[in-house]
Chain A
Amino acid sequence: MQEEKNSFVREVAEKKYEYGFTTDVQTEIIDKGLSEEVVRLISQKKGEPDWLLEFRLKAYNYWLTQEQPSWGHLQMPDIDYQAISYYADPTQKKAEGGPKEIDPELMKTFDKLGIPLEERLALSGTAVDAVMDSVSVKTTFREKLKEKGIIFCSISEAVKEHPELVRQYLGSVVPYRDNYFAALNSAVFSDGSFVYIPKGVRCPMELSTYFRINARGTGQFERTLIVCDDNAYVSYLEGCTAPMRDENQLHAAIVEIVVMENAEVKYSTVQNWYPGDKDGKGGVLNLVTKRGHLRGANSRLSWTQVETGSAITWKYPSCVLSGDNSQAEFYSVAVTNNYQQADTGTKMIHIGKNTKSTIISKGISAGKSQNSYRGLVKVSSKADGARNYSSCDSLLLGSSCGAHTFPYMDVHNDTAIVEHEATTSKISEDQLLYCNQRGIPTEEAVSLIVNGYAKEVINKLPMEFAVEAQKLLGVSLEGTVG
């Protein structure tokens, strides 16, 4: 019986990363290595204005002066920054000067991933910007959005079509000096999405970006910039996958969000980069800087993330609450299995008066993985009436995994109320017995309990994503019981 169960588990576990295929598409890849010439070349290939090149060069020169940080609770493999190609373009030019055409293979890839790029096939109510390697392949529903004044396009296009907006906001939330990987990204970022919601507009559909790394030996350095003007609203989704490869692939992105007065942004991520095989070989290094700036009064921002992939996840989607009465939320489920490592959490920086933040983090570790929550709640001396509630729970499945909690609370104001609580435990035998008694096999029971455990976060995701996330949770944890 045990044998039988294990064989089933093994079978499932082995096929579990469904998105590990590669697409055979002609891709233009520049030579490996990073230098000032490469930065200039990327800028030239994208036909960028001088100010942007200057921004890149400043970032590059700053990056040269920095060292890779090592404070995370992570065993980082050495990253050879000269062994990575910083630009890969899977779209091909039809003829000299002609418009780019999408290779049918590419369309198929995204179909296979469940991201239809034909508008007629698309899930109703979701506009997609699909990014493969360094280039945005297609953005759907642009026209429809344009009617409302919403700008949703790749950032390269935005640089050309709306330079004033990009110039005003790019680097205003995450400056290039922010950290090592932010400097790297600022120097070589290729594509990503740009969203601008004008004053008073409620975006009628979910906007989403789908990131895919395809080419070998490349890294992905996308950059997303979302600006939500006064009284506007947008819900934004991000999804990611990568092929199975033996080597580690680097993903160092930046997401910047600006939220103005009375505006609201919801940012949801389902991160499913290739996590490496069961022996910890390969996988994506996900080193991302995400930050939202709540500039206006009464603004709201919520980060929801479901992290199941990546060999290493090292990111802290953060909120700077400058506007009075602004509210921020962070909901996270991070699942690690096999040799995956995650050091993730958030930063809530309270500056405005009567600001509120909520942090709900659920970590699940299995196999030989290490899962850490690290979070900062900072209340500055001017942030009167600031309120924070954090709750971080960890669930351990397996005796060789680790779950860690490192919360930091810096309170400089005597009217602030900051609360933090955390628990770490395994699934109790009582719970399992209860399920078993009622005829639910252990494996199913575990999945049931895990889903219940993560529900608080998954409920915050948009419908389609929630279903996807629930499935992912199940798949990521296959084979952890027994």
Chain B
Amino acid sequence: MSSELQYIEIFDEARQMLDRHSAPALNALRDEAFEDFKRLGFPTQKVERYKYTDVPAAFEPNYGLNLNRLNIPVNPYEVFKCDVPNLSTSLYFMVNDQFYDKKLPTVSLPEGVVVDSLRKMAVERPDIVEKYYGKLARTSKDAVTALNTMLCQDGLLVYVPKNVIVERTVQIVNVLRSDVDLMVNRRVLVVLEEGASIRLLFCDHAIDDCKFLTTQVVETYVGENAHLEMYDLEETHTKNTRFSNTYAEQQTYSTSVIDSITLHNGMTRNRIDLSLCGEYAEVTLNGLVVADKEQRVDNNTLIDHRASNCQSNELYKYVLDDKANCAFAGRVLVREGAQKTVSQETNANLLGGTDARIYTQPMLEIYADDVKCSHGSTVGQLGEQAMFYMRQRGIPYEEARMLLKFAFASDVLQTIHMDALRDRLNYLVDKRFRGELSKCEGCKLCK
């Protein structure tokens, strides 16, 4: 229990400080989360879901916590100009775990749509926050979620009212900025009412060369007939540790696309826990991991088919080099009565380095008979024939490898429905394969 101790102590000591700098709706869940956390403790690698990630070790080091909400001086526009060009998104920033509300140009969103600080909205719109906050992310099931619920003070609320379609993509740039090693507990709540539609793009960046430990809990509610697209792009650095738990629930006829793309990171664990609760709901889960050096990425997904006639597609691709050590575990659960389910899951991996490791585990758990479910998983190298073909035509070895890797990854990128974003990601992935620091040209580090 040594890793847990510091968190238990800090919670006991700083309870009032936490409350003071947060909102009642967020504070209300802290005690229960604390009890759950104490009871659960960090999962060890003996717990099947956390088999490939050493959680206690990740939480062991001493990180600072900005519980007092001290203002960290930052001007995101200056240090960070990474908005995807030509995308004309509605741009928002989260600095560490705080919603950045200064000097924002007025963004015109359709009436009733909220993209704002969770803490602020918990006071202004308690009707939304109290109804949804912490309902999907159950603290009794997961210690990391419990820890996040215990400590988080702010976050993001995205709310789209009934039948409102947000045309412009909403981009949220998460900036990690600190002068000391820092732990960040971020919270995101996305609520789409009936018939609503929105596209969200999250970009994670770290602009300081400190160690960061991020826990992020995302809850998304997708109402009847609603449509959600959520792209999550991580481009941080090797000292960054990220635990992200996404919980999603979809109602009848809703559709959603969730993409997780990891290009640069230290250690990342992404958990997606998605339930298809209404009939005819559809989900596409995609993931791309490009990892080298000693990057670690562990994607763990669950698609829970609770209603009949739903459809799920899952595609995760990994390109690993050097000593990258990555894992994929995708579980598809078809509950009793969820007839006429169609589910397909694919995981493909390219191993490039002699010390690269991949653990893959596509799982099907099916309790209904009238279903069509399949999964496939492969681990291999670039095709010799394809390489030969290109070499014959005078393409240099390295260039040919790059082209093939890029083609391999593009399967995932093709599924992105935003042209500008897709182009931008193509560019970033291409740069990534060339070994260039794929951060934007504009940011402080790249200058």
| A→B interface (CB under 8 Å) | 71, 73, 381, 394, 396-426
Contacts and interface: CB of A to CB of B under 8 A. Distances in A.
* B interface SS class: strand
Given A401-B369, A405-B364, A411 B358 contact: yes
Interface string B368-382: 111111111111110
Contacts of B371: 396, 424-426
Interface centre among A402, A414, A415 (most CB of B within 10 A): A414
B355 interface: yes
Contact of B363 (A398, A405, A421, A426): A405
Contacts of A396: 366, 368-369, 371
A426 B366 contact: no
Contact of B381 (A394, A401, A414, A426): A414
Contacts of A422: 362, 364, 374-376
A408 B362 CA distance: 8
Contacts of B60: none
Contacts of B369: 396-399, 401, 426
A31 to B, nearest CB: 37
B362 A420 contact: yes
Interface in B369-403: 369-381
A402 B374 contact: no
Contacts of B364: 394, 403-405, 422, 424
B381 A406 contact: no
B106 interface: no
Interface string B336-368: 100100000000010111111111111111111
B179 interface: no
B366 A406 contact: no
13 contacts: A398-B369, A400-B336, A400-B367, A403-B364, A406-B361, A406-B363, A407-B361, A408-B361, A414-B353, A414-B356, A417-B380, A423-B372, A424-B371
Contact of B366 (A414, A419, A424): A424
A408 B379 CA distance: 12
B48 interface: yes
A412 B324 CA distance: 10
A71 B373 contact: no
Contact of B352 (A397, A404, A414, A421): A414
Contacts of B48: 71
Nearest to B358: A411
A402 B367 contact: yes
Contacts of A394: 364, 366
Given A409-B361, A419-B379, 16 more contacts: A71-B48, A381-B355, A396-B368, A397-B369, A399-B336, A406-B361, A407-B361, A412-B357, A414-B351, A417-B378, A419-B380, A421-B376, A422-B374, A425-B371, A425-B372, A426-B370
Interface centre among B48, B352, B359, B365 (most CB of A within 10 A): B365
Nearest to B344: A423
Given A417-B381, A418-B379, A424 B373 contact: yes
Contacts of A415: 381
Contacts of B363: 404-407
A420 B366 contact: no
Nearest to B346: A421
Contacts of A406: 361, 363
A436 B376 CA distance: 33
Given A417-B381, A423-B374, A407 B362 contact: yes
A410 B354 CA distance: 14
A412 B360 CA distance: 12
Contact of B379 (A71, A405, A416): A416
B380 A424 contact: no
A420 B369 CA distance: 22
6 closest A-B pairs by beta carbon, nearest first, are: A396-B369, A414-B351, A418-B379, A423-B374, A421-B376, A405-B364
B433 to A, nearest CB: 16
A403 B360 contact: no
Contacts of B336: 399-400
Interface centre among B48, B355, B378 (most CB of A within 10 A): B378
A412 B349 CA distance: 12
B378 A418 contact: yes
B373 A423 contact: yes
Contact of B360 (A400, A409, A414): A409
A398 B373 CA distance: 16
A419 to B, nearest CB: 5
A400 B337 CA distance: 9
Nearest to B51: A408
A409 B377 contact: yes
A111 to B, nearest CB: 41
A378 to B, nearest CB: 10
Contact of B359 (A405, A408, A419, A425): A408
Nearest to A424: B373
B277 to A, nearest CB: 20
B358 A399 contact: no
Contacts of A416: 351, 379-380
Contacts of A421: 374-377
Contacts of B360: 408-409, 411, 420
B366 to A, nearest CB: 5
B16 to A, nearest CB: 42
B43 to A, nearest CB: 15
Nearest to B321: A414
B379 A411 contact: yes
A411 to B, nearest CB: 5
Nearest to B329: A408
B44 to A, nearest CB: 14
Contacts of A381: 354-355
A413 B375 CA distance: 23
A140 to B, nearest CB: 44
Contacts of A404: 363-366
A409 B377 CA distance: 9
A394 B367 CA distance: 12
Contacts of A397: 369
B38 to A, nearest CB: 24
B359 A409 contact: yes
A399 B354 contact: no
A422 B360 CA distance: 14
Given A396-B366, A403-B366, A424 B377 contact: no
B250 to A, nearest CB: 22
Interface centre among B351, B369, B374, B380 (most CB of A within 10 A): B369
A252 to B, nearest CB: 23
A403 to B, nearest CB: 5
B231 to A, nearest CB: 28
Nearest to B336: A400
A404 B353 CA distance: 33
Contact of A418 (B352, B357, B370, B380): B380
A466 B363 CA distance: 31
A407 B375 CA distance: 10
Contact of B373 (A401, A407, A411, A425): A425
Contacts of A418: 377-380
Nearest to B48: A71
Contacts of B358: 409-411
A416 B358 CA distance: 11
Interface centre among A407, A409, A416, A421 (most CB of B within 10 A): A409
Given A381-B354, A399-B339, A412-B357, A419 B365 contact: no
